[in-house]
Amino acid sequence: FIKFGPESNQKLESTLARDHIEFIKSKRADFEEIYEIHLTIESEVRNNNSKVMMDQDILVQAYDNLLANAREAGAGKVTMRFAEKKNFLVIEFIDDGKGIDKEIAEKVAEVGVTTKKNSEGLGGNIVKSSISFHLGKVYWKSNPSVGSTVTIILPLASEGL
Protein backbone atom coordinates (compact mmCIF):
# COMPACT_ATOMS: atom_id res chain seq x y z
CA PHE A 1 0.00 0.00 0.00
CA ILE A 2 1.00 3.61 -0.43
CA LYS A 3 2.10 5.22 2.79
CA PHE A 4 1.34 8.93 3.10
CA GLY A 5 2.40 11.47 5.68
CA PRO A 6 5.60 12.56 7.39
CA GLU A 7 6.84 8.99 7.94
CA SER A 8 6.62 8.19 4.21
CA ASN A 9 9.28 8.92 1.65
CA GLN A 10 6.68 10.32 -0.75
CA LYS A 11 7.16 13.93 -1.74
CA LEU A 12 5.63 16.29 -4.19
CA GLU A 13 7.91 17.83 -6.79
CA SER A 14 7.16 20.64 -9.20
CA THR A 15 6.77 18.90 -12.58
CA LEU A 16 5.88 20.34 -15.94
CA ALA A 17 2.50 18.96 -16.99
CA ARG A 18 3.87 18.36 -20.50
CA ASP A 19 6.74 16.28 -19.09
CA HIS A 20 4.30 14.14 -17.12
CA ILE A 21 2.13 13.67 -20.21
CA GLU A 22 5.15 12.69 -22.30
CA PHE A 23 6.20 10.22 -19.59
CA ILE A 24 2.73 8.64 -19.66
CA LYS A 25 2.83 8.51 -23.47
CA SER A 26 6.17 6.68 -23.24
CA LYS A 27 4.45 4.05 -21.06
CA ARG A 28 1.46 3.59 -23.37
CA ALA A 29 2.67 0.34 -24.93
CA ASP A 30 3.39 -1.10 -21.47
CA PHE A 31 -0.11 -0.18 -20.26
CA GLU A 32 -1.65 -1.73 -23.39
CA GLU A 33 0.28 -4.97 -22.96
CA ILE A 34 -0.36 -5.29 -19.21
CA TYR A 35 -4.09 -4.49 -19.37
CA GLU A 36 -4.82 -5.82 -22.88
CA ILE A 37 -6.58 -2.65 -23.92
CA HIS A 38 -6.21 -0.05 -26.65
CA LEU A 39 -5.10 3.14 -24.91
CA THR A 40 -5.38 6.53 -26.55
CA ILE A 41 -3.63 9.44 -24.86
CA GLU A 42 -4.75 12.95 -25.80
CA SER A 43 -3.43 16.26 -24.59
CA GLU A 44 -5.19 19.58 -24.79
CA VAL A 45 -2.58 21.25 -22.55
CA ARG A 46 -1.32 24.27 -24.48
CA ASN A 47 0.74 26.08 -21.85
CA ASN A 48 4.24 24.59 -21.95
CA ASN A 49 5.02 26.11 -18.54
CA SER A 50 2.12 24.64 -16.55
CA LYS A 51 3.41 22.78 -13.52
CA VAL A 52 1.83 20.39 -11.05
CA MET A 53 3.16 19.44 -7.64
CA MET A 54 3.29 15.67 -7.96
CA ASP A 55 4.83 12.39 -7.05
CA GLN A 56 4.78 10.72 -10.44
CA ASP A 57 5.06 7.21 -8.98
CA ILE A 58 1.92 7.70 -6.89
CA LEU A 59 -0.02 9.06 -9.85
CA VAL A 60 1.06 6.16 -12.05
CA GLN A 61 -0.13 3.73 -9.37
CA ALA A 62 -3.54 5.44 -9.44
CA TYR A 63 -3.58 5.27 -13.26
CA ASP A 64 -2.67 1.57 -13.06
CA ASN A 65 -5.61 0.98 -10.76
CA LEU A 66 -8.03 2.79 -13.07
CA LEU A 67 -6.79 0.92 -16.16
CA ALA A 68 -7.05 -2.42 -14.34
CA ASN A 69 -10.62 -1.60 -13.30
CA ALA A 70 -11.52 -0.61 -16.86
CA ARG A 71 -10.18 -3.90 -18.21
CA GLU A 72 -11.96 -5.91 -15.52
CA ALA A 73 -15.17 -4.14 -16.55
CA GLY A 74 -14.70 -5.42 -20.09
CA ALA A 75 -13.23 -2.30 -21.64
CA GLY A 76 -11.33 -2.77 -24.87
CA LYS A 77 -10.60 0.92 -25.30
CA VAL A 78 -9.60 3.60 -22.83
CA THR A 79 -8.97 7.24 -23.65
CA MET A 80 -6.81 9.20 -21.27
CA ARG A 81 -7.34 12.92 -21.88
CA PHE A 82 -5.25 15.69 -20.30
CA ALA A 83 -6.54 19.27 -20.34
CA GLU A 84 -5.80 22.50 -18.55
CA LYS A 85 -8.87 24.27 -17.19
CA LYS A 86 -8.36 27.47 -15.27
CA ASN A 87 -5.81 26.63 -12.57
CA PHE A 88 -6.15 22.86 -12.83
CA LEU A 89 -4.84 19.89 -14.76
CA VAL A 90 -7.82 17.70 -15.60
CA ILE A 91 -7.20 14.05 -16.46
CA GLU A 92 -10.08 11.95 -17.75
CA PHE A 93 -10.15 8.19 -18.13
CA ILE A 94 -12.97 7.27 -20.51
CA ASP A 95 -13.63 3.57 -21.10
CA ASP A 96 -16.06 1.48 -23.09
CA GLY A 97 -16.55 -1.16 -20.37
CA LYS A 98 -19.84 -2.35 -18.96
CA GLY A 99 -20.09 0.57 -16.52
CA ILE A 100 -21.52 0.50 -13.03
CA ASP A 101 -24.73 1.69 -11.43
CA LYS A 102 -24.91 5.32 -10.33
CA GLU A 103 -25.25 4.30 -6.67
CA ILE A 104 -21.98 2.33 -6.81
CA ALA A 105 -20.20 5.10 -8.75
CA GLU A 106 -21.09 7.57 -5.99
CA LYS A 107 -19.53 5.32 -3.32
CA VAL A 108 -16.70 3.65 -5.24
CA ALA A 109 -14.00 5.52 -3.26
CA GLU A 110 -15.23 4.01 0.02
CA VAL A 111 -13.37 1.01 1.45
CA GLY A 112 -15.30 -2.19 0.84
CA VAL A 113 -17.32 -0.97 -2.15
CA THR A 114 -16.83 -3.31 -5.09
CA THR A 115 -18.66 -4.97 -7.95
CA LYS A 116 -16.19 -7.88 -8.07
CA LYS A 117 -16.58 -11.23 -6.35
CA ASN A 118 -12.99 -11.64 -5.19
CA SER A 119 -12.20 -8.06 -4.20
CA GLU A 120 -11.88 -6.26 -0.91
CA GLY A 121 -12.99 -3.00 -2.48
CA LEU A 122 -9.80 -1.03 -1.90
CA GLY A 123 -9.05 0.22 -5.43
CA GLY A 124 -11.29 3.28 -5.48
CA ASN A 125 -10.08 4.32 -2.06
CA ILE A 126 -6.44 3.95 -3.13
CA VAL A 127 -7.12 6.17 -6.15
CA LYS A 128 -8.91 8.75 -3.99
CA SER A 129 -6.07 8.74 -1.41
CA SER A 130 -3.45 9.10 -4.14
CA ILE A 131 -5.23 12.07 -5.68
CA SER A 132 -5.96 13.66 -2.29
CA PHE A 133 -2.22 13.46 -1.53
CA HIS A 134 -1.81 15.79 -4.53
CA LEU A 135 -4.50 18.12 -3.15
CA GLY A 136 -6.73 16.99 -5.98
CA LYS A 137 -10.20 15.54 -6.43
CA VAL A 138 -11.48 12.49 -8.27
CA TYR A 139 -14.98 11.85 -9.60
CA TRP A 140 -16.55 8.68 -11.03
CA LYS A 141 -19.37 8.82 -13.55
CA SER A 142 -20.73 5.69 -15.15
CA ASN A 143 -23.50 4.50 -17.38
CA PRO A 144 -24.26 0.78 -17.31
CA SER A 145 -23.59 -0.85 -20.70
CA VAL A 146 -21.92 2.33 -22.02
CA GLY A 147 -18.79 2.74 -19.87
CA SER A 148 -17.27 4.94 -17.23
CA THR A 149 -15.46 8.24 -16.98
CA VAL A 150 -13.14 8.97 -14.10
CA THR A 151 -12.10 12.61 -13.80
CA ILE A 152 -9.04 13.62 -11.82
CA ILE A 153 -8.54 17.32 -11.03
CA LEU A 154 -5.11 18.44 -9.84
CA PRO A 155 -4.22 22.03 -8.94
CA LEU A 156 -1.55 23.68 -11.02
CA ALA A 157 1.48 24.84 -9.06
CA SER A 158 1.84 28.50 -8.19
CA GLU A 159 4.30 30.59 -10.16
CA GLY A 160 7.85 30.41 -8.91
CA LEU A 161 7.81 26.70 -8.03
Report the relative pairing of strands 88-95 and 147-155 from DSSP bridges. antiparallel
Q: What is the pLDDT of residues 34-68, one digit of tens each?
A: 999 999 999 999 988 999 999 999 999 999 999 99
Q: What is the pLDDT of residues 98-120, one digit of tens each?
A: 877 676 666 665 655 566 566 65
| pTM (two decimals) | 0.86
Q: How far apart are CA 28 and CA 25, in angstroms?
A: 5
Q: In this predicted model, which residue has the larger pLDDT, 11 or 14?
A: 14
Torsion angle defined by CA atoms of residues 72, 78, 149 and 96, in that order, rounded to the nearest 10 degrees: -70
